[in-house]
Amino acid sequence: MSKILIVAEHLNGKLNSSTARCVTCARDLKPDAIDVLVLADTPDAIAAAAAKIEGVSKVLTLANAANAHALAATCAPQIVAVAKNGYTHVFAPSTTFGKDIAPRVAALLGVAQVSDVMKVIDAHTFQRPIYAGNAIITVQAPADALLVATVRTASYAAAGDGANAAPIEAMSVAVELPTHTRFVELAQGKTDRPDLQSASRVVSGGRGVGSAENFAIIFKLADKLGAAVGASRAAVDAGYVPSDLQVGQTGKIIAPELYVAIGISGAIQHLTGIKDAGTIVAINKDGEAPIFEVADIGLVGDLFKLIPELEQALN
């Protein structure tokens, strides 16, 4: 018998699609129940969104002023308290949120964490990438201990809405929350473009774009396609764009339906971040660039000539 608890990721009162992707992964275990835990100061709207996800058995809420911001130090003890109520697995997305919280949960439970689950073999056996995605290993966790894992969200489609909403249950836990960590500020870029991590279309630029000013051509094409904007590490390190746009092993792992790589050579660290993309289009003047080995469509030439031609065709 397996019973899975998924920690919901949310921001500004909105549920992140990574939660629905975790549900898809959890369903592969064929568990007896999949419950979603929402920690927030006012969880009602978030819980209502989670309850609509197909496959969710129940949504649990922990309303607490301390949960107004997702601090791992305060969330982890509460998650552990809930997890001890008969759960066999605790899942969190392998995002910044999940990578922050899951290790603390595992440590408090005294178990090792399984990271970046990309395929379920059985209830305690999983596949995950290593060596920047160059190899896939199979890992097996002890069956006699509660299992904590992060789910590689790029490997799973988001579960859709079900016919009926799952029941929502308000909970309370008697745990002492630490006071040594406090929320100071959340600084995030503001944009009207789609979110990079969940966008169905992404246009990324690399060092070949040449400068921060030249990156305007990337933004313009992205707007034309209704796409999010990404960048290679080389472009970020060169100061062309901020680090929150970085795609790759040390940036965001994404799986859009369409990925357009412009002026990106295709270092293995970057390819790791896009391996689950649907269609990859590469534009580069170097016909020997590694990006063409994974691209479904490749254009060899000057990006400053090719992109205007693409825009004209789109018009």
- Tell me the CATH number at 239: 3.40.50.1220
Question: At CA 77, angle to CA 73 and CA 82, rounded to 5?
Answer: 145
Residue where one domain finishes, among candidates 171, 186, 213: 171
**Are both 117 and 256 inside the same structural domain?**
no
pLDDT of residue 189: 66
Which two structure tokens, joined as six digits, stand for 120?
Answer: 């379920």
Task: State pTM to two decimals.
Answer: 0.85
Residues 135 and 20 placed together within one structural domain of the fold: yes
Q: How many CB atoms lie within 10 A of CB 233?
A: 21
Helix (H) / strand (E) element for 299: namely: strand 297-300
Residues 158 and 209 grouped into a single domain: no
Q: What is the pLDDT of residue 193?
A: 83
Residue 191 lies in a domain: no
Q: How many residues does the chain have?
A: 315
Are residues 251 and 102 part of one domain? no
pLDDT given for residue 201 in this prediction: 96
Tell me if 183 is assigned to some domain: no
Does residue 27 fall inside a structural domain?
A: yes
Evaluate whether residue 176 is within a structural domain.
Answer: no
Final residue before a domain boundary, out of 122, 152, 171: 171
Same domain, 163 and 264: no
User: Is 101 in the same domain as 218?
Assistant: no
Q: Is residue 195 part of a domain?
A: no
Contact 298, 292 (CB under 8 A): yes
Question: How far is 251 from 41, CA to CA, in rounded Å?
Answer: 29
Q: Tens-digit pLDDT profile for the chain (315 aa)?
A: 799 999 999 998 999 999 999 999 999 999 999 999 999 999 999 999 999 999 999 999 999 999 999 999 999 999 999 999 999 999 999 998 999 999 999 999 999 999 999 999 999 999 999 887 788 999 999 999 999 999 999 899 999 998 899 999 999 998 989 888 888 988 766 677 888 888 999 999 999 999 999 999 999 999 999 999 999 999 999 999 999 999 998 899 999 999 999 999 999 999 999 988 999 999 999 999 999 999 999 999 999 999 999 999 888
284 lies in the same domain as 211: yes
In a domain, 193, yes or no: no
Q: How many CB atoms lie within 10 A of CB 154?
A: 22
Looking at 149, 171, 193, the residue that finishes a domain is 171
Residue 34 and residue 166 in one domain = yes
- Find the CATH number of the domain harbouring 11: 3.40.50.620
In a shared domain, residues 151 and 269: no
- Whether residue 97 lies inside any domain: the answer is yes
Contact 263, 208 (CB under 8 A): yes
Separation of alpha carbons 62 and 87, rounded Å: 17
Structural domain span for residue 248:
201-314
179 lies in some domain = no
Indicate the number of domains in the chain.
Answer: 2
